[in-house]
Structure 1
């Protein structure tokens, strides 16, 4: 009997997968008891430029459109925000490359090239300006401590000169605790330059996840989850590109 029930469930899921493939949607297993349908709601392949993005950056850096990608050269701190506010449950996917020309010194064209800080914010809001995250852009100006007043999820991949990858939940009042399980230093979690990193971020109710190249790195249960907000690509002293940015609406598939 159990075998028959399992087989029936298997056929049901196969039918969902086939249906979603024909409509451009996809099915994902986020946890043992959470299967979702992902419906594409936003995409940016940067063919037409970077007008969908709001840049906050300290002096001596630049963000620009090149070869069909958003490209960052940064010295002192930068966040490139997707302008559209997102409402959960959602999944965000993008491809990023940290560029490092090992044939050039930092005094030459490789001055920004450093394998470090492929970072991101998601579900970011400002309690002082709940309807306009960008009201205080001129205050933040890409300086990292100035983001402590936001509520958001943050992953810093390859921070501290590519020695740490960390997940934090910003509370909006300056607190951003770091749990020991979220402080990773093994080389497998750090940055290999000049290779495509496929990043996936999930915010489905209390399920908060971070994937790199389809590998789940952080799987956090938030008792007070952030259910809306902005995505920001974050870095400092780095040369990198962003491409194939997508946002999906997630819907639970009931058993």
Structure 2
């Protein structure tokens, strides 16, 4: 059975099957580690057919976020975060498809100031200790300016930052600290952005297992001694032109041996 709530598709599990419309299919299972296999139950899905009302945008001046061709599209100059409005409770997995757009046949002056292969970034499990029940209480303060997110607790990956020379994972502590471990500071071209290609991103927060995948390749596999177990997802960028599509959230349950 399929219900629509503000364009979010809620899936009802019946008799061990995920029911989508009239079609049923087995629940999905994934091996996250050598000793952790999970069942994934779809709980939120947004294909942007009905617009972008499920998203809260924080953006600096001179940029825009809009609905186009069945996708959420961002043109940004100084900084932007598009938050999924629903607060998520773990263990969860988030999946989505993103494309960084760049017309390589034209100059920036010809094609617009936003096209740049850089900063396909994300936040997940984000909370504000000052406003634990309302992440958006300080939206007017953050306004998309990157340093203004330092007071949040969250996980962050910046893919192709620093003009597409770095991909980094950080754990924000909520007090301004966001240490960067050497193993999480990647600069090999394989971890950077190739524009105009679909990037399938998967984020995991299962107890202490925190993971980031791109196109089914595990890039970050972190064990958090003090894991964040609830919070919001945000698509983050700066000086970038990109699209978001096929956003899904799954509830994860361990499959016992």
Would you say same fold, with TM above 0.5?
yes
The answer to whether the 8 Å contact 2:92/2:205 transfers is yes
Greater share of helix residues, 1 or 2?
1
The answer to whether the 8 Å contact 1:59/1:76 transfers is yes
Q: Could you say if the C-alpha distance between residues 60 and 20 of structure 1 is closer, same or farther in structure 2, counting changes exceeding 3 Å?
A: same
Mean CA deviation greater in 23-32 or 201-210: 23-32
**C-alpha displacement of 1:110:** 2.9
Partners of 2:120 and 2:79 in 1: CA distance: 12
**Structure 1 gaps, min length 5:** none
Q: What secondary structure does 2:108 align onto?
A: coil
Report the TM-score, using the length of structure 1 for normalisation: 0.92
Report the TM-score, using the length of structure 2 for normalisation: 0.91
Deviation digits for residues 29-75 of structure 1 (CA, Å, limit 9, x no counterpart)? 00000000000000000000000000000000000000000000000
**C-alpha displacement of 1:25:** 2.2
Q: Where do 4+ consecutive residues of structure 1 move more than 2 Å? A: 1-17, 19-25
**Structure 2 gaps, min length 5:** none
Q: Which has the larger radius of gyration?
A: 1
**C-alpha displacement of 1:90:** 0.1
Q: Could you say if the C-alpha distance between residues 104 and 125 of structure 1 is closer, same or farther in structure 2, counting changes exceeding 3 Å?
A: same
**C-alpha displacement of 1:127:** 0.1
**C-alpha displacement of 1:11:** 27
Instruction: Tell me how many residue pairs correspond in the alignment.
Output: 254
Q: Could you say if the C-alpha distance between residues 9 and 175 of structure 1 is closer, same or farther in structure 2, counting changes exceeding 3 Å?
A: closer
Deviation digits for residues 2-50 of structure 1 (CA, Å, limit 9, x no counterpart)? 9999999999999999x99954520000000000000000000000000
Q: Could you say if the C-alpha distance between residues 14 and 102 of structure 1 is closer, same or farther in structure 2, counting changes exceeding 3 Å?
A: farther
Greater share of strand residues, 1 or 2?
2
Mean CA deviation greater in 188-197 or 98-107: 98-107
The answer to whether the 8 Å contact 2:7/2:48 transfers is no
